């Protein structure tokens, strides 16, 4: 790559020192998103889908934070809030010290080059009538960025960077396989050298062999360009591979937030424990001889979530207090937060996760 | 075994389900699509076969053609499929239809789109039961409620009158299973039964399939791209690539001592939650081939790291699926020594 | 309500803009021979000098409670629903409408039944045998049906079947069903077929498209996997799924038709609502036009209501919302 940061970011003021790795890039405080449900002739609001209900976390520069959870947990909504494709109902999103929660579309535009999104469906997110060159070059045109050797050259370099051939410039999305399309999407995302990339299930639509290629690509790009990722995923194996820290969500709330190692080895929230134990493992020796935690039933509706601890309806440890008092998200070990009245794997306890004990 | 016996076995198939050299080709404007190009396997009652492969490997077409659900008139199908001694490929569509739902049943990936949105769950199960059983609606309804109860749907007498959209994803898949099992089939084909489901619900459904198989003693084929799912359920595993089986063996053999470089690739591509985290995944290079333009020789050769060891045979000769001992079959030109060396030194330490 | 107000304004304002005065309007009632004095008197009695809102109010009140009209030659009472008197025939509109509704109703009912059956059946067969000679032939005929105007097909069929072959009665005659069902159907069969030809072509195309889509759905594969006979798969599972959009359009079409199948009625000289409306328009006979418009609007609203209700019966997903 010959496109230097100066060309990409003409607004960069000389003398302003970029924060070093380890500093907070994004912080989210009490983030809420309710989608009103309207009914009848007058469109009276009769309720709300409590998609995201009070999230607090921050993202450090250069790290990968993953949001995991089952359908309806609000992870995709969160991703859309972070990129401000949606406006939060309440709470604040602070990006590089600037509150972006309610910025107008116009004021958001310069920030769009810093915050980019990768989507799950690599086909649906690419305009079928545009060539790859036009798709990947679009951010330059939209943000009116000048490139040294012209847009075409810059696009071809991006294509090479994500493992495509520069000759693909004039082809159309339908000529590519799923994995290649996802690479095109990633190239477009990278065009403006964003600081934060929110990736919504970037590999779940891909075949296993291709999944690994894209995961590796994302890791390489992160190292090369100091990218910060917020990864939204449901595949716990992939999440473990790519993340530095993981936030487990259930019905619009974070129930556990910890660094990768402690989350996978000493999960504290019963939901996390159940989630980890439900992952099918490609190991026939495990078959039948591992005691699994099986959750009953399905995730309740986010329209009318259970009161207090939202997991109590499916939790095997639930007591009366879980139905009346909501457990706060507390730091129970260094870098390990959980929201539970009766957490597992408290410091000093014997680890109970089946996955970790099996591996050791 | 007398000679009479062997004649009998050739004509009627050796196992409960005996698939021999099954081919399903689709002529298209761009050329002949060889979706399935010579598949053979056997499956006994009470056993589970896992068919693993990526999109376009022919795993779904295989199952649909066993069921006689491939596009009629378009597909060119050859080979033999014996179900309990009856050959299906040469049977008339109506003969196969009478077996469908009764002796062989199928569940699909997305239970929402697989159920008719305008009929209640009960109506759909009753319909499935009454095609093959001459009973009154009341009797069939009682049976439907029993089936719903059996697959773990709470309040089955009330839920029987609910519509599919009123069910959650997991409940819908349970209802699909109830429908598939309503006539007590001997063969159950599950095509990506848990791919559309959440992980905790997936675990419930896999448990359910396992329990019901024990109860009904049926043969089960589970088709999936998820090696974790087959490890949970399958006794035997067939790995497919570009319309052909490239490795076949017991689940233990496939996971403990896989022989084909593609199988190694699949195992290396998957991040494992049960092992130490590796720094890097080992992907398979390139992309799966188009079925119109399958590479000559071994279809996997452009993506194979070991193809150069075969002195050009990879590009010219298609390797046959050969037994390498104890029923473990592999279609690869590498010599057993080279395979063992590559597995022990290159692959196994990195998993 | 709104429809009647808009119609009222249009048909009141347009003549005025074209230069008509209350006097010229009143002339229509009393005849050209009348003196200026009489004309003015009549215009005043009929309220033609009032502002448009007042005139509308009086008309609307007449619909609900009835009205009395003073022609100078004595007061005539017009019981509710009073839609006024025709300018030309001086007959009250409502009873005339009542006479004509059965004609239009017969025409619409027969034709819609015919086109629904023919169109859907053709569409289903076309979809199942996609690309076959039947499919191509049916679609060509359907294209012809959509593009040929009714006065062409209508007159052509009249010429052949009625005048040349004498199989059916020529236009212009209508015998109520209650009097003689055989003659009733004989007099209507040609209009039915002509109208149905036009519509069924459209329905065949719609059904074909809908069926092609539905037969690719996953639930069709499930139905086959159950071992259902192909007939059941197509009818119970395929057609039921494809029918919903057709039903919507069917409801609207029938509603429209009940307001008068203008061209068909004119071509076959059937004394229905459409012909009544055309006669009214030609003669600039406002009460007639208003009457037909109101009745047509009521039919369309009713048809929409029925469609919405049927929708809920067909698609349980609509019911719960």
Kindly state whether residues C190 and C295 are assigned to the same domain: yes
d(CA C265, CA C172): 9
pLDDT at residue B47, as a whole number: 93
Kindly state whether residues A252 and A140 are assigned to the same domain: no
Kindly state whether residues A231 and A290 are assigned to the same domain: no
pLDDT > 60? residue A313: yes
Question: HEC string of chain B?
Answer: CCHHHHHHHHHHCCCCEEEEEEEEEEEECCEEEEEEEEEEEEECCCCEEEEECCCCCCHHHHHHHHHCCCCCCCCEEEEEEEECCEECCCCCHHHHHHHECCCEEEECCCHHHHCCCCCCHHHHHHHHHHHHCCCCHHHHHHHHHHHHHHCCCCCHHHHCCCCHHHCCHHHHHHHHHHHHHCCCCCEEEEECCCCCCCHHHHHHHHHHHHHHHHHHCCEEEEEECCHHHHHHHCCEEEEEECCEEEEEEEHHHHHHCCCCHHHHHHHHHCCCCCCCCCCCCCCCCCCCCCCCCCCCCCCCHHHCCCHHHHCCHHHHCCCCCEECCCCCEECCCCCHHHHHHHHHHHHHHHC
A224 touches chain B (CB under 8 A): no
pLDDT at residue A81, as a whole number: 93
Average pLDDT of the residues in C28-51: 68
Cα torsion through B220, B221, B223, B228, rounded to 10: 60
Kindly state whether residues C152 and C56 are assigned to the same domain: no
Band (pLDDT 50/70/90 cuts) for residue A258 is very high
Band (pLDDT 50/70/90 cuts) for residue A18 is very low
* Cβ–Cβ < 8 Å for A275, B197: no
d(CA C58, CA B199): 70
Q: Token digits for B52? A: 């693993």
Tell me which residues of chain B have a pLDDT lower than 70: 1-13
pLDDT > 50? residue A3: no
pLDDT at residue B107, as a whole number: 92
Last residue of a domain, one of C33, C52, C79: C79
Q: Token digits for B343? A: 């597995």
Kindly state whether residues A226 and A294 are assigned to the same domain: no
Identify which of A66, A60, A57, A58 has the alpha carbon closest to the alpha carbon of residue A20: A60
pLDDT > 60? residue A289: no
> Hey, are the CB atoms on C217 and B106 less than 8 Å from each other?
no
Kindly state whether residues A140 and A279 are assigned to the same domain: no
C198: preceding bond cis by omega (within 30 degrees): no
Kindly state whether residues A168 and A41 are assigned to the same domain: yes
Helix pair C2-17, C52-65: axis angle to 10 deg: 140
Per domain, the residue ranges of chain B are 13-103+185-350, 109-184
pLDDT > 70? residue A348: no
Last residue of a domain, one of C44, C79, C114: C79
Greater model confidence, C6 or B179: B179
Please give the residue of chain A at the shortest CA–CA distance from B226.
Answer: A208
Number of domains in chain C: 2
Q: In what order do the strands lie in the sheet with B329-330?
A: B104-107, B187-191, B219-224, B48-52, B236-241, B244-250, B329-330, B322-323
Please report whether residue C280 resides in a domain. Answer: yes
d(CA B324, CA B307): 19
Kindly state whether residues C73 and C97 are assigned to the same domain: no
Largest CA distance in chain B: 69
Residue pLDDT, tens place only, A237-255:
999 999 999 999 999 999 9
Please report whether residue C139 resides in a domain. Answer: yes
C228 touches chain B (CB under 8 A): yes
Identify which of A204, A192, A241 has the alpha carbon closest to the alpha carbon of residue A71: A204
CB atoms near residue B272 (< 10 Å)? 23
Test the B interface: residue of A71, A203, A284, A313 with most B CBs within 10 Å: A284
Residues 6+ apart with CB under 8 A from C230: B97, C224
d(CA C188, CA C171): 9
Q: Residue B128: which of C226, C240, C314 has the nearest Cβ?
A: C226
Which residues form the domain of A161?
Answer: 5-13+24-243
Chain B nearest CA to A183, separation (Å): 13
**Which H/E stretch holds residue C225?**
helix C218-225
pLDDT > 90? residue C31: no
Residue pLDDT, tens place only, A58-109:
999 999 999 999 888 899 999 999 999 999 999 999 999 889 999 888 888 8
Which residues form the domain of C174?
Answer: 93-319
Q: What is the CATH number of domain B13-103+185-350?
A: 3.40.50.300
Please report whether residue C85 resides in a domain. Answer: no
Greater model confidence, A323 or B10: A323
* Cβ–Cβ < 8 Å for B16, B185: no
pLDDT at residue B140, as a whole number: 94
Last residue of a domain, one of A212, A243, A274: A243
Q: Residue C227: which of B100, B110, B115 has the nearest Cβ?
A: B100
Please report whether residue C88 resides in a domain. Answer: no
* Cβ–Cβ < 8 Å for B226, B266: no
Whole-prediction pTM value? 0.81
pLDDT at residue C15, as a whole number: 61
Please give the residue of chain C at the shortest CA–CA distance from B188.
Answer: C225
For β-strands B244-250 and A64-68, DSSP reports them as unpaired
Please report whether residue C213 resides in a domain. Answer: yes
Chain A nearest CA to B131, separation (Å): 31
Identify which of C304, C108, C101 has the alpha carbon closest to the alpha carbon of residue C196: C108
d(CA A175, CA A179): 12
Q: Residue B105: which of C219, C225, C320 has the nearest Cβ?
A: C225
Residue pLDDT, tens place only, A158-176:
888 888 888 888 888 888 8
Number of domains in chain A: 2
User: Per DSSP, what are the bridge partners of residue B22?
Assistant: B39
Whole-angstrom Cα Rg for chain C: 25
* Cβ–Cβ < 8 Å for B308, A277: no
Please give the residue of chain B at the shortest CA–CA distance from A179.
Answer: B287
CATH number for the domain including A151? 3.40.50.300
Q: Please report residues of B whose CB lies closer than 8 A to that of C219.
A: 113-117
**Which H/E stretch holds residue A84?**
none
From first CA to last CA, the distance across chain A in angstroms is 43
Kindly state whether residues C313 and C269 are assigned to the same domain: yes
CB atoms near residue C19 (< 10 Å)? 7
What are the φ and ψ backbone dihedral angles of B125, each rounded to 5 degrees? -70, -40
Band (pLDDT 50/70/90 cuts) for residue A281 is confident
* Cβ–Cβ < 8 Å for A276, B273: yes
* Cβ–Cβ < 8 Å for A120, A202: yes
Chain B nearest CA to A280, separation (Å): 5
Is C231 buried (19+), middle (13-18) or exposed (0-12) by CB count in 10 A?
exposed
Cβ-count burial C89-107 (b if 16+ within 10 Å, e if not)? eeebbbebbeebbbbbbbb
d(CA A170, CA B50): 41
> Hey, are the CB atoms on C222 and B114 less than 8 Å from each other?
yes
Please give the residue of chain B at the shortest CA–CA distance from A296.
Answer: B204
Kindly state whether residues C293 and C154 are assigned to the same domain: yes
Kindly state whether residues C255 and C162 are assigned to the same domain: yes
Last residue of a domain, one of A213, A243, A273: A243
> Hey, are the CB atoms on A294 and B203 less than 8 Å from each other?
yes
Kindly state whether residues A178 and A305 are assigned to the same domain: no
Kindly state whether residues A84 and A120 are assigned to the same domain: yes
Identify which of C197, C222, C223, C220 has the alpha carbon closest to the alpha carbon of residue C210: C220
Kindly state whether residues A148 and A34 are assigned to the same domain: yes
Band (pLDDT 50/70/90 cuts) for residue A120 is confident
Please report whether residue A90 resides in a domain. Answer: yes
Kindly state whether residues C168 and C258 are assigned to the same domain: yes
> Model ipTM?
0.86
d(CA A307, CA A346): 25
User: Per DSSP, what are the bridge partners of residue B26?
Assistant: B33
Please give the residue of chain B at the shortest CA–CA distance from A300.
Answer: B168
pLDDT at residue B289, as a whole number: 85
pLDDT at residue A8, as a whole number: 44
pLDDT at residue A252, as a whole number: 92
Q: Please report residues of C whose CB lies closer than 8 A to that of B100.
A: 224-227
Greater model confidence, C148 or C21: C148
d(CA A161, CA C35): 96
User: Per DSSP, what are the bridge partners of residue A229?
Assistant: A64, A197
Band (pLDDT 50/70/90 cuts) for residue C88 is low
Kindly state whether residues A175 and A260 are assigned to the same domain: no
C131 touches chain B (CB under 8 A): no
A237 touches chain B (CB under 8 A): yes
DSSP state letters, A255-322 = EEEEEHHHHHHS--SHHHHHHHHHS--S-GGGTTTSPPP---S-PPPTTSPPSSSTTTTT-TT--HHH
Kindly state whether residues C152 and C223 are assigned to the same domain: yes
Percent of chain A with pLDDT over 90: 36
Q: Please report residues of B whose CB lies closer than 8 A to that of A275.
A: 199-200
A281 touches chain B (CB under 8 A): yes
Under DSSP, the state recorded for C233 is I
d(CA A199, CA A230): 6
Please report whether residue A18 resides in a domain. Answer: no
Last residue of a domain, one of A223, A243, A263: A243
Kindly state whether residues A189 and A252 are assigned to the same domain: no
Cα torsion through A77, A81, A82, A85, rounded to 10: 110
Kindly state whether residues A182 and A275 are assigned to the same domain: no
Long-range contacts, stretch B272-277, CB < 8 angstroms, 24+ apart: B272/A237, B272/A281, B272/A282, B272/B351, B273/A236, B273/A237, B273/A240, B273/A264, B273/A276, B273/A279, B273/A281, B273/A355, B274/A281, B274/A283, B274/A286, B274/A355, B274/A358, B274/A359, B275/A359, B275/B351, B276/A359, B277/A240, B277/A241, B277/A260
> Hey, are the CB atoms on B108 and C222 less than 8 Å from each other?
yes
Band (pLDDT 50/70/90 cuts) for residue A358 is very low
**How many CB pairs (< 8 A) connect B and C?**
73
Please report whether residue A19 resides in a domain. Answer: no
- Show the CA angle centred on residue A296, arms to residues A292 and A297, nearest 5°: 140
């Amino acid at each position: 790559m010959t496109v230097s940061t100066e060309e990409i970011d003409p607004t960069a003021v000389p003398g302003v020192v970029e924060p070093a790795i380890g500093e907070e890039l994004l912080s989210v405080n009490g983030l809420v998103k309710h989608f009103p449900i309207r009914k009848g002739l007058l469109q009276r609001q009769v309720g709300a889908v409590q998609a995201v209900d009070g999230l607090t976390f921050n993202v450090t520069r250069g790290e990968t934070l993953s949001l995991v959870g089952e359908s309806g947990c609000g992870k995709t909504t969160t991703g859309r809030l972070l990129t401000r494709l949606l406006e939060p109902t309440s709470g604040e999103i602070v990006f590089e010290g600037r509150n972006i929660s309610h910025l107008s579309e116009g004021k958001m535009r310069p920030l769009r080059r810093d915050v980019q999104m990768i989507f799950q469906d690599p086909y649906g997110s690419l305009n079928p009538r545009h060539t790859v060159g036009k798709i990947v070059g679009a951010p330059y045109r939209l943000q009116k960025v000048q490139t040294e050797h012209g847009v075409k050259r810059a696009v071809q370099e991006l294509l090479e960077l994500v493992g495509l051939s520069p000759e693909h410039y004039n082809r159309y999305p339908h000529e590519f396989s799923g994995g290649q399309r996802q690479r095109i999407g990633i190239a477009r995302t990278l065009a403006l050298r964003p600081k934060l990339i929110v990736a919504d299930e970037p590999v779940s639509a891909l075949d296993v062999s291709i999944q690994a290629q894209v995961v590796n690509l994302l890791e390489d790009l992160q190292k090369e360009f100091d990218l910060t990722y917020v990864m939204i995923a449901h595949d716990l194996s992939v999440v473990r591979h790519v993340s530095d820290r993981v936030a487990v969500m259930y019905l619009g709330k974070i129930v556990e937030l910890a660094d990768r190692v402690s989350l996978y080895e000493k999960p504290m929230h019963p939901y996390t424990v159940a989630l980890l134990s439900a992952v099918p493992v490609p190991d026939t020796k495990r078959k039948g001889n591992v005691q699994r935690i099986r959750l009953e039933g399905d995730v309740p509706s986010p329209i009318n979530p259970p009161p207090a601890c939202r997991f109590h309806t499916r939790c095997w440890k639930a007591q009366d207090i879980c139905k009346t008092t909501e457990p706060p998200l507390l730091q129970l070990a260094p870098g390990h937060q959980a929201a539970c009245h009766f957490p597992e794997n408290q410091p000093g306890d014997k680890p109970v996760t089946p996955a970790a004990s099996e591996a050791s | 075994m007398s000679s009479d016996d062997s004649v009998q076995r050739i004509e009627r198939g050796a196992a409960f389900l005996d698939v021999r050299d099954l081919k399903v080709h689709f002529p298209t404007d761009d050329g002949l699509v060889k979706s399935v190009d010579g598949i053979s396997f056997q499956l006994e009652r009470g056993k589970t076969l896992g068919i693993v492969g990526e999109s376009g490997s022919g795993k779904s077409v295989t199952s649909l053609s066993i069921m006689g659900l491939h596009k009629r008139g378009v597909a060119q199908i050859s080979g033999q499929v014996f179900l309990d001694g009856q050959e299906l490929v040469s049977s008339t569509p109506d003969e196969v239809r009478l077996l469908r739902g009764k002796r062989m049943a199928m569940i699909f990936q997305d239970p929402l789109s697989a159920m008719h949105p305008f009929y209640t769950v009960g109506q759909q199960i009753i319909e499935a039961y009454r095609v093959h059983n001459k009973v009154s609606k009341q009797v069939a309804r009682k049976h439907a409620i029993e089936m719903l109860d059996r697959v773990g749907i709470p309040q089955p007498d009330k839920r029987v009158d609910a519509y599919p959209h009123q069910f959650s994803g997991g409940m819908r898949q349970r209802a699909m299973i109830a429908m598939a099992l309503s006539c007590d089939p001997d063969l159950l084909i599950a095509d990506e039964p848990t791919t559309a489901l959440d992980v905790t619900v997936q675990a419930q459904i896999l448990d359910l399939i396992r329990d019901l198989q024990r109860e009904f003693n049926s043969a089960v084929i589970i088709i999936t791209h998820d090696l974790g799912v087959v490890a949970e359920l399958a006794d035997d595993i067939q790995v497919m690539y570009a319309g052909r089986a490239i490795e076949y063996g017991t689940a233990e053999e496939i996971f403990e001592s896989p022989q084909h470089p593609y199988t190694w690739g699949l195992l290396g591509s998957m991040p494992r939650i049960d092992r130490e985290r590796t720094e890097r995944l080992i992907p398979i290079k390139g992309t799966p081939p188009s079925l119109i333009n399958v590479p000559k020789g071994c279809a996997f050769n452009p993506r194979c790291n070991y193809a150069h060891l075969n002195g050009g045979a990879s590009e010219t000769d298609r390797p046959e699926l050969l037994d390498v001992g104890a029923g473990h079959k592999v279609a690869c030109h590498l010599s057993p020594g080279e395979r063992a060396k590559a597995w022990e030194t290159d692959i196994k330490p990195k998993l | 309500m709104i429809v009647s107000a808009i119609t009222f304004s249009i048909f009141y304002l347009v003549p005025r803009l074209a230069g008509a005065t209350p006097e010229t309007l009143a002339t229509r009632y009393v005849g050209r021979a009348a003196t200026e004095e009489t004309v003015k008197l009549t215009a005043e009695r009929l309220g033609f000098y009032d502002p448009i809102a007042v005139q509308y109010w009086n008309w609307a009140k007449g619909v609900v409670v009835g009205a009395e009209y003073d022609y100078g030659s004595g007061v005539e009472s017009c019981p509710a629903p009073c839609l006024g008197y025709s300018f030309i025939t001086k007959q009250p509109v409502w009873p005339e409408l009542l006479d004509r509704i059965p004609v239009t109703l017969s025409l619409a009912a027969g034709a819609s039944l015919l086109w629904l059956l023919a169109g859907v059946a053709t569409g289903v067969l076309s979809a199942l045998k996609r690309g076959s000679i039947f499919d191509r032939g049916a679609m060509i005929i359907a294209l012809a049906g959509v593009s040929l105007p009714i006065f062409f097909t209508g007159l052509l069929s009249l010429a052949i079947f009625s005048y040349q072959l004498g199989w059916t009665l020529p236009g212009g005659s209508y015998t109520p069903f209650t009097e003689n069902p055989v003659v009733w159907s004989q007099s209507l069969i040609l209009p039915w077929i002509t109208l149905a030809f036009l519509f069924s072509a459209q329905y065949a195309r719609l059904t074909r498209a809908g069926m092609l889509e539905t037969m690719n759905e996953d639930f069709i594969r499930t139905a086959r996997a159950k071992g259902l006979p192909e007939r059941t798969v197509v009818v119970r599972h395929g057609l039921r799924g494809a029918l919903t959009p057709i039903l919507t359009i069917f409801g609207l079409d029938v509603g429209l038709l009940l307001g008068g199948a203008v061209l068909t009625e004119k071509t076959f000289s059937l004394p229905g609502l459409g012909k009544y409306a055309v006669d009214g328009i030609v003669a600039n006979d406002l009460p007639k036009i208003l009457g037909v418009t109101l009745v047509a609007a009521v039919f369309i609203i009713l048809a929409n209501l029925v469609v919405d209700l049927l929708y809920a019966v067909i698609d349980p997903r609509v019911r719960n919302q």
